[in-house]
Amino acid sequence: MIAAAVALVGALTYGAADFLGGLAARRIRPVVVTAVAASTGLVALSLIHPLIGGEATSVDVAWGVAAGVLSAIGIGLLYACLAIGPMSILSPLTAVVSAVAPMLWGLLVKGDALAPAGYAGLAVALVAVVLVGFVPGERIVRPSTRGLAMAIGSGLGIGGFLIAVDQTSTGSGLVPLLAGRATTAVIAGAAIGLLAVAAAHRGATTRLLIAPAGASAPSRPRAWLLALACGVADAAANALILLALRTGELAVVSALTALYPAGTILLASVVLRERVAAIQWAGLTLALVAGGLLAVA
């Protein structure tokens, strides 16, 4: 199934976007990175849209706006719950919920039907998501109720994004993504505006608004370029996932999309020379197995 291959490439591209955004967030506040990436992605999608064409109805635009809101909520809660920790539990929990929610919607509401190999692939994909997202070496800490709630909320938000995009018509082109990206940019911009007002009341400088605590040289061009590249990669991932949803089943696409940490891990290993744990290699291997099973489903 071509949709499975496209979804897997889209997931890896999402992981690459997260990697670039994570590097940028070392010098620039995450909310600023989000705003820059959303704006850059909006420009990239706007340039590509005329080449693809398509006409969207008001319903398509409405679903696109809903997808943008759900995406902003999901990503915001993801950052918040990972800051609370422990990442080794909350990260895979978020990924699993983001896969299970659309899977259940597709199977129970839409009536998606898969071959036996497909259901086996979904099960293998969920195991792979947990193993890939697991962060070894951390001291085992029981997550707080607040952290668990945020992780589940994040997963529902990210999964809801997929469900919302899946509701759009095949003839709408990239319009739903444009509406969603514009919505995310507005939300991120509003958040920055609130931070600016709060900073002004405290007498803080613009530098402290832009740079995270402890960061040096926040305006270094490389950090801003990374944020711009993050936006382009994220837009490309969104386009790939949209294509996968329009050619395949929501349950399959959501399961493979949840493997996005694999892209981040692989890039961190190659670029930053970070060690990939054996359990994560096992997850990456199972991800390939799941992709093969779902491709023939």
Q: Which of 20-34, 43-57, 146-160, 170-184 has the lowest mean pLDDT?
A: 20-34
DSSP string, 68-92: HHHHHHHHHHHHHHHHHS-HHHHHH
Q: What is the pLDDT of residues 6-39, one digit of tens each?
A: 998 999 998 888 888 878 877 777 778 888 888 9
- Kindly report, residue by residue over 68-127, the tens digit of the pLDDT: 999 888 888 887 776 676 766 777 788 888 888 888 898 888 887 778 888 888 888 888
Question: What is the per-residue pLDDT for 218?
Answer: 44
Task: Tell whether pTM > 0.85.
Answer: no
pLDDT at residue 134, as a whole number: 72
Q: Which residues contact 133 (CB under 8 A, 6 or more apart)?
A: 91, 92, 94, 95, 261, 283
Amino acid at 89: I
Q: Check whether 237 has a pLDDT greater than 90.
A: yes
Residues in Cβ contact with 53 at an 8 Å cutoff, skipping those fewer than 6 apart: 173
Q: What are phi and psi of 137, to 5 degrees?
A: 90, -10
pLDDT digits (tens, 9 = 90+) for 163-209: 999 999 988 889 999 999 999 888 888 888 887 777 677 665 555 55
pLDDT: is 294 or 212 the higher one? 294
Q: How confident is the model at residue 5 (pLDDT cuts 50, 70, 90)?
A: confident
* Cβ–Cβ < 8 Å for 129, 258: yes
Q: Using alpha carbons, select from 128, 119, 120 the residue that is nearest to residue 96.
A: 128
Q: What is the pLDDT of residue 65?
A: 95
